[in-house]
Structure 1
Amino acid sequence: MERWTADNIPDQAGRTFVVTGANSGLGLETTRELVRRGAKVIMAVRDPGRGRKALDELSAEQPKGALELRPLDLSDLDSVRSFAEAVIADGTPVDVLVNNAGVMMCPRTSTKQGFELQFATNHLGHFALTGLLLGTLRAARDARVVTVSSGLHRRGVIDFDDINGERKYSPSGAYAQSKLANVLFALELDRRVRAAGIPVKSILAHPGYSATNLQSSGPTGLLNLLMKISNRLVAQDVRMGALNQLYAATDPNAATGQFIGPDGRGESKGHPTLVRPSEAGQDVEVARRLWDLSERLTGVRFDLAGD
């Protein structure tokens, strides 16, 4: 793969993207580049105030950009349903869903539905959103679901006996579990849509170690301090980190089932390239078990009847 940059993004005029977590970090940079190339972007954000600030910033940069702000709290399944139902009711076409938003290494917190916050936000919310929007995506040309994971998925284990960390909780362990869940979900979605003959690509991406507010907004105490220091000294710029999901979302050569990450040492920095998920991420039986669990927990069933 050539040294791909944002200048390689094809014209996106006439295409509509939903980007979760679009008000900051990777989501904001992804939105910026998509709009620059003519796309319409629905900015799905948890905090309307921060979302409005981000939209105003982008609108000032690109006055003719097609931007729309909609509330979405991925940790709340009621909010996920309301968001998806509104998009469908409006008849809004969605060509690409970028499952980008996330929380990282926070103290144990339970969501409105009683799930552990990182598993709920990073995995269950995106699982449900994808399932609810799948019918809309199926009507699109070159439809894609881009799920953003992390290199830390390699440290993850799906603890089916304690999925919500009620007996034992580690902020970093729960984060790694949620990022492994992203990988398992995206690859299982790829297998299922291909088996059904549904023309929707499921593509994975991870940003390497990129400097965003994710590292400092979730961790507390000493971990928070260490993250802030490493962001300044080690991490790559967010513009580089966003390239991987931008490639997955827009490049004609991006194929379903691929995993896109940085080409540098340890996949921590660099330009987009094909990377391999961990062995655990490729475990088909675990993926099927997680899919079944996710359907039960969210109440969302994917319409996978063939075209």
Structure 2
Amino acid sequence: MNRHAFITGGASGLGLGCATAFRRLGYALTLADIDGEAAQRAADRLRRQLPGPAPVRVEVVDLSDPASIAALGQRWHAEGTPIDVLVNNAGIYPPSQRRLTAEGHELSFAIAHLGHFRLSQALWPSLQAAPAARVVSISSMVQRQARLNLDDLSHAQRYEPIRAYQASKLACLLFAQELQRRLFAERSPIRSYAAHPGVCRTQIGAHRPRAADDRLWQRLSSAALQWGLRYVGQSPEAGAASVIAVATTERFAPGSLVGPRWLGESVGAPALSTLGPAARDADLALRLWARTEQITGSIWNPR
């Protein structure tokens, strides 16, 4: 039976780069994305360009919507397919103006952290069903400048898109580290890692939410982000090298953050990445976990 990689945000960018790399290794794939049509086009392209017996399937999920995540979990459990690698990749660059989910959470944090926390929990039985599953959470170089205010995770006091993005990527990293600490304590065979792609060409700029009342400078910043991230940096498949390294090899200790080696961790072969001050704070990771349980209303002790 083929090993199975489940990738959020798999329709484009880094997610599709990861899917391509896993496909080359013979993995069965699930591309989970909010845009089902784009994910289906990506799946069809993978089958054409890299023919093989391993299946490629599509799941539609909105990671900002708890009901959508729960429905996906129910569908998956009904089939009982084990998951060998879960890549928590989906995310957005925060909009110019603060946007909240129906639950009242800042959108980028809700997708990148709350959504993946809920999804990992929902899919946990399928990860436990694999021989030695791995969970890979996608962070970023910006975690080194990030701060996380647990009393204002929705940035109501001061909203700046870059600060919101930094906080969401720091939260992804802290989640990966705290998850591994808990797995180690439980002597679980499942392992948790964090990875980042360096400077990578993605569609995150093109998918940045816009508002009709964005000011001129806000529209210009969105256009610049869209252009820059489409043409600058290494390819998505090259960016996926760090993900593949932690998902399929024993080169790095569980709980590590791995990213490109060269030019300030922007390009190159996978290597251990430098942690920012907040990412080295184990107590902050523990408190974020507790706060996340409070927000989601779900106590989770992974084993």
With the length of structure 1 as denominator, give the TM-score of the two structures.
Answer: 0.90
Task: State how 1:202-217 maps to structure 2 within 5 Å.
Answer: 202-217=192-207
2:74 maps to which residue? 85
**Shift of the alpha carbon at 1:124?**
0.5
- Corresponding residue number in structure 2 for 1:184: 174
In 2, are the aligned partners of 1:36 and 1:62 still within 8 Å (CA)?
yes
CA shift for structure 1 position 265: 1.8
Structure 1: how far apart are the matches of 2:185 and 2:32? 30
Match of 2:100 in 1: 110
Task: Go from structure 1 to structure 2 and tell me whether the alpha carbon gap of 1:304 and 1:217 turns closer, same or farther (over 3 Å shift).
Answer: closer
How many residues are aligned here? 293
Residue type of the partner of 1:243?
A
Deviations 1:261-297 (A, max 9, x none): 0001211111111113212112111111110111111
Which of 231-240 and 61-70 deviates more?
A: 231-240
TM-score for the superposition, normalised by structure 2? 0.91
Q: Distance in 2 between matches of 1:286 and 1:131?
A: 20
State the 1:233 CA deviation: 6.4
Corresponding residue number in structure 2 for 1:283:
281
1:16-35 equivalences under 5 Å are 16-35=4-23
Distance 1:87 1:229 in 2: 37
SS at match of 1:69: strand
Q: Shift of residue 228 of structure 1? A: 4.1
The amino acid of 1:127's aligned partner reads: F
CA distances 1:135-176 after superposition (whole Å, capped 9, x unpaired)? 321231221000000001112111122211223211111110
**2:258 paired residue among 255, 260, 276:** 260
Residue 86 of structure 2 is matched in structure 1 by 97
Cα 1:40–1:300 shift into 2, 3 Å: farther
Which deviates further from its counterpart, 225-234 or 86-95?
225-234
Q: Secondary structure of the equivalent of 1:162?
A: coil
Structure 2's unaligned 5+ residue stretches are 210-217
CA distance in 1, matches of 2:236, 2:270: 13
Match 1:194 to one of 184, 196, 201: 184
Q: Hey, what does 2:244 align to over in structure 1? A: 246
Identity of aligned residues (%): 38
Is the contact made by 1:203 and 1:256 (CA closer than 8 Å) also made in structure 2? yes
Q: CA deviation at 1:208?
A: 0.6
RMSD over aligned Cα atoms = 1.7
Report deviation, 1:227: 2.5
Structure 1 residues 103-131: Cα deviation after superposition (integer angstroms, max 9, x where no partner): 11323211122211000001110011112
Counterpart-to-counterpart distance in 1, 2:129 and 2:78: 15
Report what 2:224 is aligned to. Answer: 226
Unaligned segments of structure 1, at least 5 residues: 1-12
